[in-house]
Amino acid sequence: MNITITIYSENKPGVLYRIANLFLRRKVNIESLTVSEIKSEDRSRFTIVVKEDLSLVAKIAKQLERIIEVSSVEIHTDNELIFKDAALIKISKNPKVVKKLDSIISLLKASIAYQNDKYIIIEKLGTEEDIDLLVSTLEPFVKETVKSGRIALPKNGQ
Amino acid sequence: MKLSGGRILMESLLENQTDLIFGYPGGAIMPIYDALYDYKDKLKHVLVRHEQGAAHAAEGYARLSGKVGVCFATSGPGATNLVTGIADAMMDSVPLVCITGQVYANLLGTDAFQETDMIGVTTPITKWNYQITKPDEVAETIAKAFYIARTGRPGPVLIDITKNAQIEKADFKYPQKISIPSFKLPGKPNDNLVKQAAKLINNAQKPFLIAGHGVIISKAFNQLKTLAQKADIPVASTLLGLSAIPSSHPLSMGILGMHGKYSTNVLTNQADVIIAVGMRFDDRVTGRLSEYAKQAKIIHIDIDASEINKNTIANVAINADAKSALEALIPKISKNEHTSWLSEFNRLDQIEFEKVTTKELTPQNNKIKMAQVVNMLSDKTKGRAVVVADVGQHQMVTARYFKFQKNNSFLTSGGAGTMGYALPAAIGAKMAQPQTEVIAIIGDGSFQMTIQELATIAQEGIAIKIIILNNKFLGMVRQWQDLFFDKRYSFVDLKNPDFVAVAKGFYIYGEKVTSYSDLEKAIERLLKAKKSYLLEVEVEKETNVFPMVPAGASVEEVRLE
């Protein structure tokens, strides 16, 4: 099961190392990781996705809270969250795809971020499945895809 | 006023009531040692012979003085030699501040001479660590280091200071207030949970208290005794919980766990309510978890939230320090009597006495058994010495047979099981309590891991009593090979040096006994000695420590033979 761990910490060097170390000790693979600054509070937010049992993740969460720089840790299942990944998809500017592109991006809620003579870069915000669907639709023309880690906010509570 | 980083460090240590440092100089920490030269009258420094010794000595000092232990080491190998001691302190919640020198900041990351990434190395084994690269960071960082080391669940902190930060000058202003917004202080015991716990205890027929190291760290001795007496509850101790309650107390049932008592292990699985205070359900305590105290309601008191529900699921968990939790609990506890439950302990103790204890204590031939040495020592000191045990069979025998009468009088490496702990830890212990008799009980294998600290003892001129229980084996490993590996004794034989001669070479005098008839007088001479004294006791070669819960077995499967 996907569990999203949200860690709030002081915005200082080395915190990621301490967090990553704990996942290593518990032999838990990080599926996705997003770190961002909460500017107004001089804190950082780590959004980490793992595929593990909730009970193990709950233990890890408490151990993460032992890290001095970490102020709090929350864990959520997917149904408790609004979550998105971002992707940039570079495709070749082939007439076959250019013809259909407007309808594809409007149907799949993407947009064109950049284009030149040879390539078009498409941007897409959505779930992993949304992004996969877009990539597979564009498949023969896709040169390169890059995906971000998950960003998430709980639907309720804090 | 501008001071060098090294001097700022000295001033900051003084602000934290540091009076003793264990350390070893070297290239990258020389400016700090140069600053120390001017603070010699206020900051005593003990020159160990290996940095591991510095860390263990600082642990011994911290555990008996109630202060934060401080050690110094240089960069690279000096710093990595501290690592075992730091890991030990992390496992056993001992407050340390370890200062390591580091190469100049402009050389960081270049594989400079004696450069080791100590932040990387010690992140998993410290409560906190930090690298200082500028002198103006020193005062605030040291203030934080001490605060973190001693607040909440204690633990080791490592501060790595680059050489330029030791030399360059900055304004010295010690912070009046320490601000760590993310630091989570343990809360007060929750009223509602305390009520629930009290209700469980008041309704219990077979309540069972387990005292862990947390009782000792929070000095909850009276509270533990009061709770036990008021509700008439038997008290067992973890290895590090020994001496939380005097062994002679009628409700003190002794140690539990792998080499704990027969009664405490068997009855763990019969108790209806277990009150676990300042302990973490280590695997050496629980045996096979799936069969550990399944019948019991568990009340878990611990200062560290991450310990709660880590190994066992608590019915009521009070996340607070042992003392405040017990204080909150006591007024809500009704007076009670559990005569028949207590008599169960006595009945099983009698079985253990007949099957194990009498055999161990009664001299059969003129050979000496470890238990006889510890038992005699316990009697002769009336259980009032501070005992520092190393790791192995002798440790378990000491835990079983020494009758601790004084609170916080047993030091040993519990969680990490670090061989070589006892000799340096005894140095720190003696320096924390110079008037107390400090006795190190060490196996022949363990002794040779930190034997060089005999030189430190001689140089400091302190009086430590050392007992070597010599069975010419790595005894605990041999015991496991005997019981679980078909007696295939794989590399456990020791051809030992002449320990008395070795000690003499370090200007420490002593003697060796080989027969039981000479033992008593030899122990008397050891205790009477005004200076350090080493007593080597040749003990029976192949004896196993029982009772024993084999690894992976349930506590009720505790073996008596």
Interface with A, mutate which of B306, B309, B313 (most A CBs under 10 A): B306
CATH number given to A2-81: 3.30.70.260
Could you read off the pLDDT of B532-556 as tens digits, one per residue? 999 999 999 999 999 999 999 999 9
Could you read off the pLDDT of B121-176 as tens digits, one per residue? 999 999 999 999 999 999 999 999 999 999 999 999 999 999 999 999 999 999 99
Exactly one of B2, B17, B42, B113 is catalytic; which is it? Answer: B113
Closest partner residue to B183 (CB to CB) among A18, A59, A68 is A68
**pLDDT value, residue B380:** 98
Please say if the pLDDT value at position B504 is more than 90. yes
Count the alpha carbons within 13 Å of B188 in the hemisphere toward its beta carbon.
Answer: 4
CATH number given to B191-344: 3.40.50.1220
Tally Cβ neighbours within 10 Å of residue B169: 15
Positive or negative, the CA dihedral B252, B258, B263, B269 is: positive
Averaged over B336-358, what is the pLDDT?
97
Give the model's confidence band at B341: pLDDT under 50 very low, under 70 low, under 90 confident, else very high: very high
Cis peptide before B547 (omega within 30 of 0): yes
Averaged over B97-120, what is the pLDDT?
97
Please say if the pLDDT value at position B36 is more than 90. yes
Every domain of chain B and the residues it spans: 2-171, 191-344, 368-538
B282: left (phi over 0), alpha (psi -120 to 50) or beta: beta
Q: Which CATH superfamily is domain B2-171 in?
A: Thiamin diphosphate (ThDP)-binding fold, Pyr/PP domains (3.40.50.970)
Give the model's confidence band at B490: pLDDT under 50 very low, under 70 low, under 90 confident, else very high: very high
Mean pLDDT of chain A: 95
Active site residue B113: yes
Averaged over B239-246, what is the pLDDT?
98
> Is there a contact between B304 and A66 if contact means CB atoms under 8 Å apart?
yes
Averaged over B35-39, what is the pLDDT?
98
Question: What is the C-alpha separation between B166 and B6, in angstroms, rounded?
Answer: 5
Measure in Å the smallest separation between the Cα of B309 and chain A Cα atoms.
8
Report ipTM for this prediction. Answer: 0.90
Residues of chain B in contact with residue A11, where contact means CB-CB under 8 angstroms, are: none
Averaged over A115-135, what is the pLDDT?
96
Tell me the longest C-alpha to C-alpha distance in chain B. Answer: 73
Question: Poorest-confidence range of A137-141, B33-37, B216-220?
Answer: A137-141
Mean pLDDT of chain B: 97
Active site residue B393: no
Averaged over B323-343, what is the pLDDT?
98
> Is there a contact between B305 and A70 if contact means CB atoms under 8 Å apart?
no
Residues of chain B in contact with residue A66, where contact means CB-CB under 8 angstroms, are: 127, 304, 306
**pLDDT value, residue B84:** 98
- Say if CB A83 and CB A150 are below 8 A apart: yes
Could you read off the pLDDT of B400-420 as tens digits, one per residue? 999 999 999 999 999 999 999
Of the candidates B313, B279, B281, which has an alpha carbon nearest to the alpha carbon of residue B297? B313
Tally Cβ neighbours within 10 Å of residue B135: 26
Residues of chain B in contact with residue A7, where contact means CB-CB under 8 angstroms, are: none
**pLDDT value, residue B1:** 83
Active site residue B396: no
> Is there a contact between B184 and A59 if contact means CB atoms under 8 Å apart?
no
Residues of chain B in contact with residue A25, where contact means CB-CB under 8 angstroms, are: 124
**Residues forming CATH 3.30.70.1150 domain(s) in chain A:** 83-154
DSSP characters over B156-190: EEEEEEEHHHHHSEEE----SS---TT-----PPP
Closest partner residue to B124 (CB to CB) among A21, A58, A59 is A21
Exactly one of B30, B114, B406, B556 is catalytic; which is it? Answer: B114
User: Please, what is the angle between helix B221-231 and helix B322-329, to 10°?
Assistant: 30
Please say if the pLDDT value at position B512 is more than 60. yes
> Is there a contact between A18 and B123 if contact means CB atoms under 8 Å apart?
yes
Exactly one of B163, B225, B261, B403 is catalytic; which is it? Answer: B163
- Say if CB B92 and CB B70 are below 8 A apart: no
Residues of chain B in contact with residue A62, where contact means CB-CB under 8 angstroms, are: 305-306, 308, 310
Active site residue B447: no
Please say if the pLDDT value at position B318 is more than 60. yes
Instruction: Indicate the class that CATH gives domain A83-154.
Output: alpha beta
**pLDDT value, residue B543:** 94
- Say if CB B82 and CB B160 are below 8 A apart: no
Could you read off the pLDDT of A43-66 as tens digits, one per residue? 999 999 999 999 999 999 999 999
> Is there a contact between B181 and A10 if contact means CB atoms under 8 Å apart?
yes
Residue B445 CA, distance from chain mean position: 19
Averaged over B489-514, what is the pLDDT?
98
Active site residue B476: yes
| Residue whose structure tokens are 């040495």 | B373
- Say if CB B252 and CB B276 are below 8 A apart: no
CATH number given to B368-538: 3.40.50.970
Could you read off the pLDDT of B4-14 as tens digits, one per residue? 999 999 999 99
**pLDDT value, residue A158:** 53
**Which chain A residue is nearest to residue B312, measuring alpha carbons?**
A59
Please say if the pLDDT value at position B187 is more than 90. no
CB pairs under 8 A between A and B: 37
> Is there a contact between B181 and A71 if contact means CB atoms under 8 Å apart?
yes
